[in-house]
A and B are shown apart, each in its own frame.
Chain A
Amino acid sequence: DQQVKQNSPSLSVQEGRISILNCDYTNSMFDYFLWYKKYPAEGPTFLISISSIKDKNEDGRFTVFLNKSAKHLSLHIVPSQPGDSAVYFCAASAGGNNDMRFGAGTRLTVKP
């Protein structure tokens, strides 16, 4: 049962433009959402998170938006840089239990 879904396996954008990565979830008990970035043959690294009490969290070029009614979140990267090219995973957990569920990932390619 895929509780966290990233329906776009890949995304390609031009350097300097905005990258928007999307994520949907089905479990209404999820209350904490995260984005991770992963390079090949490495473990994912934490990027940004958002609690369900907020609808937006911003950190530099990265902003995460949460729409609870639609069970949807998105990661915006602006401006995109070639070094942002990686696989991005959306994750969610419920009630601090931390059995964190991940989406399938979206491979972002930022072209110079």
Chain B
Amino acid sequence: SQTIHQWPATLVQPVGSPLSLECTVEGTSNPNLYWYRQAAGRGLQLLFYSVGIGQISSEVPQNLSASRPQDRQFILSSKKLLLSDSGFYLCAWSVRGAEAFFGQGTRLTVV
């Protein structure tokens, strides 16, 4: 069966520090991978999605970047965090034309 791992579960980082959130998927090949953010009181905002290794589509200009160094690994990064980067970050995977499956999320607080 397929599983998705996302870590860490919670993170408190100072403004200006770097960020690296990692997501890995098991049990499937060549999945679509996604990073979403849920800000307080808001819906799920698509940040990045990837249809293959090294292929990243960015939806919103921002302080974040994503990379897909391996087929089932998706990394969300920032060189310098802003207060506005606080939120609940979710990694997800899907096969084309089907529903997405989400990780447990990372609660990021930038202080």
A interface, CB within 8 angstroms of B: 6, 32, 34, 36, 41-46, 49, 89, 91, 96-105
Q: Is A42's CB under 8 angstroms from B104's CB?
A: yes
Q: What class of interface size applies to chain B in its complex with A?
A: 20 to 34
Q: Is A89's CB under 8 angstroms from B101's CB?
A: no
B interface, CB within 8 angstroms of A: 6, 32, 34, 36, 42-46, 49, 51, 57, 59, 88, 90, 92, 94, 96-97, 99-105, 107
> For B90, what are the chain A residues with a Cβ–Cβ distance below 8 Å?
43-44
Main secondary structure of the interface of B (DSSP, over half): strand
CA distance A100 to B35 in the complex (A): 11
Q: Is B42's CB under 8 angstroms from A46's CB?
A: no
CA distance A44 to B103 in the complex (A): 8
CA distance A49 to B49 in the complex (A): 21
